Amino acid sequence: MSPAIPFRRKPGNSPRQRGELALGELALIEEIRRRAAATNFKAAPARDVRLGIGDDCALLRLRGGEEIAVTTDLSIEGRHFRLDWHPPESVGHRALARGLSDLAAMGARPVAAFLSLAVPGKLAKGRRGQPSWTSRFLDGFLALAATHKTPLAGGDLAESPLALADIVLVGAVPRGRALLRSGARAGDLLYVTGSLGGARAGLARLAGLAEKSAGRVGIPKSLAGELAPHLYPQPRIPQGLWLQRLGSASAAIDISDGLSTDLTHLCEESHVAAEVDAARLPVHAGAALEQALHGGEDYELLFTAPAGAKIPRKMRRMVKRRAGHPLITLLTPNGPQPLERRGWEHFS
């Protein structure tokens, strides 16, 4: 990874062989550098970032007594987003939101973001005075970065047949105080921030719009609110920091792949099982129970805390793991049912 934009000119005979955006690459680099600087200045005093874009490496300097949290996320055209469905601002927002959500799940504060962007050449060029796809991608990315005071401190740029964004997020957390998946104990209560299923319901709505439209999906203003959980999910950075400072959460994970899948991860890492009360599940208005249980990309925090910790809205509790019993039990009016992991999985 070369964390500085502009990255050094890479060796090779032609721009194309070097994997660079032959036309307009320098202009794009200059745009990213200029806009990142403006956003970073507004976003934070950026005391953690001693040196950002412009050199071979970024230099970060953390406060005493902290440890570093690092996460990476790939967003790939056709897999995580579609050029004909998703506004470029949403693609930029979601790419960063995924990484920020991982920091939130650890109770880490964001320190810096690094963005490696590969796009077909045509997406880097604006047409007839209109901003380019990459420019609008940056609009979404930098707006969320500013909200969470996360400076863009470097990255890389290349031409590619597919659009993809690879982000690295660096965060910091007081030493030994990160929220982990592994600390839940039998008897702990189970919590989730916000509501579940909204992102999947929004995606279903978007797919419905796509079916009706030939080509690019136009998103009517009246649907902006309904689609927001999918297009512009809000990572729970303040809630993660709050939980970390409170010190009473025993385990935490962010819901990126769906409750059934992410709760399974938490159970496995903590060597416990879980009961979820269907009646207490915070299902997003307009979403179905199935979407709340298995739909991914809500980016809410799922966490556990011992009974007696002052946290509202428990969903149920963690229980001892027993051979022959399901890892997650859903308590419904018709009795308990095993909840199988049916969220998002790659290579499945």
With CB under 5 A as the contact rule, which of the stretches 98-106, 119-127, 182-190, 316-324 interacts with Mg ion? 98-106
With CB under 5 A as the contact rule, which of the stretches 39-47, 101-109, 212-220, 280-288 interacts with Mg ion? 101-109
Residue 124 or 253: the one with the smaller Cβ distance to Mg ion is 253
Q: How far is the CB of 102 from Mg ion (least distance, A)?
A: 4
Positive or negative, the Cα torsion across 302, 304, 309, 313? positive
Q: How far is the CB of 241 from Mg ion (least distance, A)?
A: 16
Distance separating alpha carbons of residues 260 and 243, to the nearest angstrom: 22
Question: Is the backbone of residue 12 left (phi > 0), alpha (psi -120 to 50) or beta?
Answer: left
Task: Please report whether residue 102 would count as binding Mg ion according to CB under 5 A.
Answer: yes
Q: How far is the CB of 242 from Mg ion (least distance, A)?
A: 18
Task: Please report whether residue 25 would count as binding Mg ion according to CB under 5 A.
Answer: no
Site residues for Mg ion, 229-268, by CB under 5 A, read 254, 256
Residue 193 or 256: the one with the smaller Cβ distance to Mg ion is 256
Q: Are 204 and 210 in contact (CB under 8 A)?
A: no
Q: How far is the CB of 73 from Mg ion (least distance, A)?
A: 9
Residue 188 or 254: the one with the smaller Cβ distance to Mg ion is 254
Q: How far is the CB of 285 from Mg ion (least distance, A)?
A: 25
What does the DSSP assignment read for 205-253?
HHHHHHHHSSSSPP--GGGHHHHHHHHS----HHHHHHHHHH---SEEE
Task: Please report whether residue 298 would count as binding Mg ion according to CB under 5 A.
Answer: no
Q: How far is the CB of 100 from Mg ion (least distance, A)?
A: 10
Residue 38: both structure tokens together: 């403006």
Question: Taking the C-alpha atoms of 54, 56, 57 and 59 in order, what is their torsion angle to the nearest 10 degrees?
Answer: -60
Quick one: which of 69, 149, 102 has its CA closest to 302?
102
Q: Are strands 335-338 and 66-76 parallel, antiparallel or unpaired?
A: unpaired
Distance separating alpha carbons of residues 348 and 345, to the nearest angstrom: 6
With CB under 5 A as the contact rule, which of the stretches 28-36, 94-102, 139-147, 225-233 interacts with Mg ion? 94-102
Q: How many residues bind Mg ion (CB under 5 A)?
A: 3
Binding-site ranges for Mg ion (CB under 5 A): 102, 254, 256
